[in-house]
Structure 1
C-alpha cells in the first residue's frame, strides 16, 4: 500500500486524477461498515470519562487509581500495536478487525461485571488489546476500500475518531447516570452489531488489495517491521512528537474530567462537556485541517495547533478551580486537537516508504506510550504538588513536542510534497 503513496515523489504511480472530484462521502457500503465500527471502537477512549468520579466512589478508589483505567488501556495498545501488522498480514484485514471487535466486546462486558478497581484496570487492558487490533487495521481497510483517495480516506477515518470520542462521553454519561456499569455493557452490545456489519458487508481478503499493490506489499509482515520502520527519521519524529503531545491530550481527557467532577458536574453534564469537545474535534478534522495543510503546510499548521493547545492547558492551570473556564477550555481544545490529529495522521501515512499498516503500528506504539504514562502522572502530580500542576506539566510537554518538530523540520518537508501529488 505504501508503495503507491511514496511512489509519487519517487517517480512511481500516482492516484488517478478523477478520485479528486469524488465526494468524501461517496463510499462503498463496506467503508461505512468499517467507519461505524470505528466510531464504536473509539467510544472506548472517552467512555469512562464521565463516570470516573462515580467509579472512584463506588469502588472506593483514589483519583490516581482510576486514572489507571486509561494507563492500562493505552499501555496494552502501545505494545499490541507492534504485533498488529504481523497478525493482519496472516489473518487478513477483515478477520483482524473481527477479532479485535470480539476482544473489545468480551472485555467491556467483563468490565461491567467487575467489583474491584484493580480487576477493572486489568480488564481495560484487555479492551486495549482489542482496540489495538481494530484501530491499526481500520485505517488501512478504509484506505483500501475507499474510492476517493488517501487524503479523503484519512479525513473520513478522523471523522469516525471524532464522532467516537464525542459520543463515548455522551453514552458514558447517560448510561452512567443509571449505573457506572451501564457504559461497559452498552459498548459490548454495540460491538456485536459492528461485528455483524463487517462480517456481512466487508469483502474477503482477496478483494482488499488495491490495484497496483506490489508483490512486496503483499508479503507477510514480520514482528520486526515496525522497528525497522522507525529507522526512518520522519516517521520516528512524528511518533515521538505524538508521544509528547499525548501527555497534554490525556491530561485534558482524564484529569480535566476528575477536576470537573470535583467541581460538581455529574455524569450527565460531564458527558455533554466532552460531547462538545469531541464535536469540535470531529468538525475541525474534516473542514479545517485540510485547509490548513494546503494554506500553510503540514509542519507549520501542526506547530501552531500544538502551541495553541499548550496555551489552553496553561489557562486551565491558572483557573483550575473556575468551573466555567475549565469547561470552555476543554471544548475549545477539541478544535486544536482535531486539526492536529488529521494533520499528523496524514503526515505519518506519507512519512516513510513502508506499508501503511506498518507505519501506523510503529507510530501508534510511540504515541500510546505517552498516553499510558500521562493519566497516572497527572493524578500523581496533583497528589504530590497541587491541582494546577498536571495542566502545567501537560502544557510543557506539548510545547516540547512542537519544538521537537521544528528541530527536525528539514526531515519532514517531503510529506507535503507527497500529499500535493495525490
Structure 2
C-alpha cells in the first residue's frame, strides 16, 4: 500500500545540537570510571590510605545526590539548556582544580564541586538532546545511549592512559574535553523553553511519600552501595598499573553498555521487570562474594569485576523503568527523588568500606556489598504487587503494560474499525491518510492511536512529548479526517521505554475492540534502535490475531488502484 510521506530520519541525520550534547555526554559519563585506574597511584603519590582516597567517590556522589533535589527547581526557572551549560562550566573548573591541587583533601573537596556540576548536567542532558532532535527523537535517544556507553567504557581507558603519565592527567584531560563540549553547547544548542509550571524545590522529597517510589529508591540505594563499593575498592587487590586497570574497567564498561541497551529490554519483555531484577541482584551478590573470597588473588578479582558489568547494565536500565512505572508524579520529580536515594547509597558506601578495610581486612567491605545486594531483594519484593499492577495495567500477563486513553468520542461497539498506529514524527499524517484509504475501501471507521513514549536511559527518564501535545496530535488527525468525510476516533498509547510491549498492547486492544485490521507505517527509528529496545511492528505482527497492514509511502502522493483496493478488502475482511 502506498501514499506519501517524507523519508525516514536516519540515526546519523541529527542536528549539530544533538551531536554537541552527545559529545558532552561522553565526557560527562567518563567521570564515572575515570579515576578508578589512578586510585592506587593517588594513594602512593599523595601518601594517602585507600580509605582517604575513597572519599573521592563519597564527596562526588553525596553532593550529586543532594543537588539532584534542587536541579529540577533550577531548571524549571532558567531552562534546561542554561542549567546544563552551568553544570558543564562547574565541571571544567573543578576538574582543573582537582588536577592542580597537591593534597588528597584538596582533590576530595574539588570532586565535591565536580559532583554539583555532574548533577546539573545529567538531570537535563536527556531532555535537551530530545528537545534538540528534529524529524525523530528516537535517533537522538540512541545517540544518547551510545554516548553513555562510550563514556563508561572509554573513561577508564583514558584514565589509565593519562594516569600512566601522571595522576593529574585524567583531571586535566576532563577539564579540556569538557571545555570543548561547553563551547559546542553554547554555540550549537538552541535555547530550551522553561516549563509552564516551576517545580517546587521540595517536590522530590514529597514524592518519596509514595510507597512505590520510596521502595524502588531504597532498593536502588542498597544496589548502589554494593556497586560503588566494588568501583571504589576493587582496583587495590588487582595489583595492576594505571594502564592495565584502565583496560580492565574498559571491559567492564563495555559489558555495562551492551547489557543496558541491548539485553535488558529483551529480558524484561520475556520475564517481567521484577523477576529479572531478583535474579540480577542475586547474581551481583554472588559476584561480590567471589571478589571478597578471592581478594588475595588478583585474577579472580579482575574476572569478577569485568563480569559484574553485565549485571550492572541490566540493573541500571530496569530499575529506572520500574521507578517510572510505579511513580504517580511527574517524570522529572520522580527522577530527582530516585537519583537522590541512588547517589546517597553510592556516596556512603566507599566511606564505610574504607573504615571497614582499615579496621579489618580488604575482603570485609566486599562481603558487606554482597549483603546489600541480597537485602535489596526483599525490599523490592515488598513493592512487588505495586510493580506488577503497574506493569499489567492493561490486563493479561504483559510485562510493562502501556496505557490507552481515548481522545474525544469513542467508537461504537461492534463497529470493527481499522486501527492505525503512529508516533510523533513528520510522516504521521501520511500514514493516517493512507489508513483512511483502507478504511474507505472496507467501509469501516478509523481509530487513530498515537504512541507517546517515555524514554528511559540509566537513571534519567523524559517524556518525548507532553500529554497535551499527544492529544493535540490526535485532534489534528481527527480534524483532517472529518474534513475528508472519514468517521474517526482517537487514542493515546503511552509506553515507558519498551516499544515491543507497546506493539503487543496494541494487538491486544485490536482484539478487544474487534478491529477489522491494524495499519502501521515503516518505523522511523531505524534498525539499530529497534534492535536495542524491540520493534513495535514486529511485536504487533507476532501478537496480533488479525491482519496487520504495513503502510509503505514515498515522496510522491499516489492513490490506490482498483486492484489494490480489492486486495485490501480481501485481506481485511
Task: State TM-score, norm by structure 2.
Answer: 0.65
Change (3 A) 1:234 1:36: farther
Distance 1:374 1:186 in 2: 27
Matches within 5 A, 1:241-320: 241-260=219-238, 263=239, 265-320=240-295
- Cα pair 1:140 1:356 within 8 Å, conserved: no
Determine which of 66, 71, 75 is the counterpart of 1:88: 75
Distance 2:108 2:143 in 1: 31
Distance 1:304 1:276 in 2: 22
- Cα pair 2:68 2:336 within 8 Å, conserved: yes
Determine which of 113, 116, 120 is the counterpart of 2:103: 116
- Cα pair 1:101 1:195 within 8 Å, conserved: yes
How far 1:352 moved relative to its partner?
A: 1.9
SS of match in other structure, 2:328:
coil
**How big is the alpha-carbon RMSD for the aligned residues of Structure 1 and Structure 2?**
2.1
Task: Find the counterpart in structure 2 of residue 75 from structure 1.
Answer: 62
Distance 1:229 1:27 in 2: 35
Bigger relative contact order, structure 1 or 2, given CA contacts below 8 A and separation 6+?
Answer: 1
Gap runs ≥5 in structure 1: 1-17, 210-216
Distance 2:13 2:316 in 1: 23
- Cα pair 2:256 2:311 within 8 Å, conserved: yes
How far 1:280 moved relative to its partner?
A: 0.6
How far 1:71 moved relative to its partner?
A: 0.4
Task: Find the counterpart in structure 1 of residue 202 from structure 2.
Answer: 224
Deviations 1:289-326 (A, max 9, x none): 11111111112112221111111111111111111111
Task: Find the counterpart in structure 2 of residue 348 from structure 1.
Answer: 323
Determine which of 155, 170, 176 is the counterpart of 2:157: 170
Change (3 A) 1:24 1:382: farther
- Cα pair 2:128 2:192 within 8 Å, conserved: no
Gap runs ≥5 in structure 2: 392-399, 403-495, 504-573
Distance 1:139 1:238 in 2: 21
How far 1:377 moved relative to its partner?
A: 1.3
How far 1:23 moved relative to its partner?
A: 7.0
- Cα pair 1:158 1:341 within 8 Å, conserved: no
Task: Find the counterpart in structure 2 of residue 332 from structure 1.
Answer: 307
- Cα pair 2:131 2:192 within 8 Å, conserved: no
Between 24-33 and 238-247, the greater mean CA deviation after superposition: 24-33
Deviations 1:117-145 (A, max 9, x none): 11111100000000011011123333444
How far 1:156 moved relative to its partner?
A: 5.2
SS of match in other structure, 1:50:
helix
Deviations 1:269-293 (A, max 9, x none): 0000000000110111111011111
SS of match in other structure, 1:417:
coil
Distance 2:226 2:344 in 1: 13
> Is residue 405 of structure 2 the alignment partner of residue 417 of structure 1?
no
Distance 2:230 2:327 in 1: 30
Distance 1:324 1:368 in 2: 29
> Is residue 49 of structure 2 the alignment partner of residue 62 of structure 1?
yes
How far 1:28 moved relative to its partner?
A: 4.3
Task: State TM-score, norm by structure 1.
Answer: 0.87
- Cα pair 1:155 1:285 within 8 Å, conserved: no
- Cα pair 2:268 2:276 within 8 Å, conserved: yes
Q: Which is richer in helix?
A: 1
Task: Find the counterpart in structure 2 of residue 3 from structure 1.
Answer: none
> Is residue 90 of structure 2 the alignment partner of residue 106 of structure 1?
no
Distance 1:116 1:389 in 2: 28
Change (3 A) 1:139 1:238: farther
In the alignment of these two chains, the number of paired residues is: 390
Change (3 A) 1:155 1:349: farther
Q: Which is richer in strand?
A: 2
Change (3 A) 1:156 1:88: same
